[in-house]
Copies of this chain bind each other. A is one copy, B any other.
Amino acid sequence: MTEPQPGGAPALTPAIVFENLQAYQKTCALHTAIELDIFRAVGQGPGDVASIARHASASERGIRILCDYLVVAGLLQKVGGRYVHTPSSAAFLDPTSPHCLASIARFLANPVMRAPFEQLTEVVRRGTTMLPGAGSVEPENPAWVVFAESMGPMMAPMAGPLGEVVLQGRKGPMRVLDIAAGHGLFGIEIAKQNPLAQVTGLDWAPVLRVALENARKAGVQERYSMLPGSAFDVEFGGPYDVVLLTNFLHHFDKETCVGLLKKVRSAIKPGGMVATLEFVPNEDRVSPPMPAAFSLTMLTSTTAGDAYTFKELAEMHRKAGFGEATAHAIPMSPHTLVMAHT
């Protein structure tokens, strides 16, 4: 252990080493708290250990220790011995909040999603996923049904701003292709904002069932059609006014992305556009935290994917024959929308 530093600088401690080595406990604690419906109990009850334990059908010892841990992790507060929401847990973890996104734990903290990280040392040695085939984008991977079912609440807040940016200066009848639609929320948003838009969702058939259900809920199912299959294999049809390419390019190497963008471009009308939503780190590749950190997920789960910088994405679009790309930050989200015209 080092001595306190002269000159008033704070003494070095190894706390950051312990925190990182034990960080896995945070994932498990939040996942468990969501599974046991702790955040609803805290929001609606008196917040003492006994009442939370009753709500969760769990032991008081377990609840006391778990809730104390959640306080240490900044996910609850403890006031006078009772647990109460933080502003963030009230907004994003209490199921009674319209902004609740607790369901994302089913995807992000899923043991299947976490498993590739158990082989990270060998992954770094080889520079590619240890998963069989194409990794997470292997055809018909059931993880994408879980993604479509559970990640909507994370994506929904981005749909409005995305729709506004995409539809700026565009009115009237239009055809929209939503590639790797997943939950379908981005294409559905276009249909909501423009009553003359016809939207086609492309994804594996079991995933598209989730998108269609969301289109029904939004009341736009009459203008929502489905194109089941792989974006690399199916005929896109068209031509389209707008193609949405959301959270998809990061799974592939640059050459594959350029090839797909060429196929996309050939399905777009003159004057039409592609709207690519991505985690886009700065050129230093270490900021902002979420887009920069996302590369590690692509390293572990794909053969050659990455979180691409705007410069790289602009170059891919250029090589595919698009005009100069522009970047639009989506407010309050870790995503950037990259747009390019034919």
Contacts and interface: CB of A to CB of B under 8 A. Distances in A.
19 contacts: A1-B157, A14-B154, A17-B92, A22-B27, A22-B293, A23-B23, A23-B26, A24-B28, A35-B121, A36-B125, A59-B124, A59-B127, A62-B299, A65-B296, A65-B299, A66-B124, A69-B296, A72-B293, A73-B293
A328 interface: no
Q: Count chain B CB atoms within 10 A of each CB in A31, A69, A88, A295 and give the residue with the most.
A: A69
Given A69-B293, A71-B286, A293-B72, A12 B63 contact: no
B69 A29 contact: no
Contact of A124 (B58, B72, B105, B333): B58
Interface of A is mostly: helix
Contacts of A105: 21
Interface in A265-299: 284-287, 289-290, 292-293, 295-299
B25 A117 contact: yes
A168 interface: no
A15 B290 contact: yes
A26 B334 CA distance: 19
Interface of A: 1-2, 11-32, 35-36, 56-66, 68-69, 71-75, 78, 87-88, 91-93, 99, 101-102, 104-105, 108-109, 111, 114, 117-118, 120-121, 123-128, 154, 157-158, 284-287, 289-290, 292-293, 295-299, 304, 306, 332-334
Contacts of A333: 1
Given A32-B121, A121-B32, A20 B296 contact: no
A65 B114 CA distance: 17
B27 A20 contact: yes
Q: Which of A61, A121, A296 is most buried by chain B, counting CB atoms within 10 A of its CB?
A: A296
B24 A117 contact: yes
A298 B66 CA distance: 11
Given A25-B293, A69-B293, A32 B93 contact: no
Contacts of A118: 28, 111
Most buried by B among A13, A105, A158, A304: A13
Contact of A286 (B21, B36, B72): B72
A183 B63 CA distance: 33
A332 B26 CA distance: 24
Contacts of A285: 64, 68, 78
A88 B127 contact: no
Contacts of A332: 1-2, 11, 13
Contacts of A293: 22, 25, 69, 72-73
Contacts of A296: 25, 29, 65-66, 69
A16 B71 CA distance: 12
A286 B104 contact: no
Given A14-B92, A17-B93, A23-B23, 13 more contacts: A17-B30, A18-B290, A19-B26, A20-B29, A23-B24, A23-B27, A24-B114, A62-B123, A65-B298, A66-B124, A72-B286, A72-B292, A111-B118
